[in-house]
Amino acid sequence: MSEAKGMSVPSEIVIPKETQVTSRQKTLWFPYALIAPTMITLTVVSLIPFLYTIYLTFHKMAYAQVGAFSGLANYRELLGNSAFWHSVWVTTLFVAIAVPIEFSLGLAGALLLHQKIRLRQAVVPLLFIPTMMAPVVVAILWKIMLAGAWGMLSYNVLERFGIIKEVSAFASADLALYAIIFVDIWEWTPFMTLAFFAGLQSLPLNPYRAAAVDGATPVQTFFRLTIPLMVPLLAVIVLLRFIDAFKIFDTIFLLTAGGPGVATESVSIFTYKTVFNYWKMGTATVTAVVIWILFFIFCNVFYQVAQKKLKAF
């Protein structure tokens, strides 16, 4: 079609330089404006209290009163405290047993659900129940289940096989920690199952079709396709679960309060008693900083290994 008479079409539109500069400035600052509320909140809620905690570790503290500068005295007191190292050992043992079992059972359950079993739509919502239950409810449930002489599991299983007699598993110095580990596995394995199941559902199908054409067995497909493709998710879930398990407080506090004796006294329980039973605020603040340092080292090592060896990040 020919152009209408008497009308001209401009060859290009010229944008003033001032407008271009303003547009670039808006583009440059816009991402920072979006994250500013989150960063301000984290700074106020997390960073400032943490820095103040570090400040307190270098001062004498009488109850809640900050005293004179004491140097590394609080650190020496904590590192020389055998109760602290015992709590670290209890927490490490708890994590070393609970997390691998939760990981293995969660992955096995996810693979089973991925096979399109019957009633899967009914099973998946039920898996949310243990993880969604309040810690108080979980504690009451398992205190009853493992109560001495009349608890359903303690009477029908533990006493029948001669493992324990007429006493709660939580009252036994030898079994209390393992009973808490069992409760934690019951509570958090469904979460691992659902997380891994979601990961399996999102995997691409083309590599599996190619493997089937090449005659790969299910075992070969699992180790050479499924695991490598799921490594990023597996690494993140394991890291988050490890951190959460190391901080365990509510389950132990409600079931045993760290007892019998100090058999189940985790780092969190040790810190709680240090503050609210003995009012040693200096020792408690040092505990927080030392645990943060240990976590910082572990997370960095984990990240480097997962990045270089597993290509997870």
Over residues 266-295, the pLDDT tens digits come to: 999 999 999 888 888 888 999 999 999 988
Which residue, chain included where needed, has tokens 């409600």?
A: 254
Write the CA distances from 259 to 29, 105, 218, integer angstroms.
Answer: 54, 28, 47
Q: Is 67 helix (H, G, I), strand (E, B) or coil?
A: strand
**Partners of 66 in the β-ladder:** 61
Decide if 74 contacts 282 (C-beta within 8 A): yes
pTM for the structure as a whole: 0.84
| pLDDT in the model for residue 1 | 43
| pLDDT in the model for residue 13 | 56
Over residues 114-162, the pLDDT tens digits come to 887 777 778 788 888 888 888 889 988 998 888 876 777 777 777 777 7
Over residues 68-94, the pLDDT tens digits come to 888 899 999 999 999 999 999 999 999
| pLDDT in the model for residue 3 | 47
Decide if 149 contacts 235 (C-beta within 8 A): no
In the structure, what pLDDT confidence band is assigned to residue 10 with cuts at 50, 70 and 90? Answer: low
> For the chain, how many residues are written?
313
Q: CATH homologous superfamily of domain 78-120+169-308? A: MetI-like (1.10.3720.10)
Q: How far apart are CA 95 and CA 191, in angstroms?
A: 16
Q: Where are the domains of the chain?
A: 17-57, 78-120+169-308
Q: Is 299 helix (H, G, I), strand (E, B) or coil?
A: helix
CB burial readout 21-42, b (16+ within 10 A) else e: eeeeeeeeeeeeeeeeeeeeee
Query: Taking all residues of the chain, what is their mean pLDDT, rounded to a whole number?
Result: 85
Mean pLDDT confidence for 194-207: 90
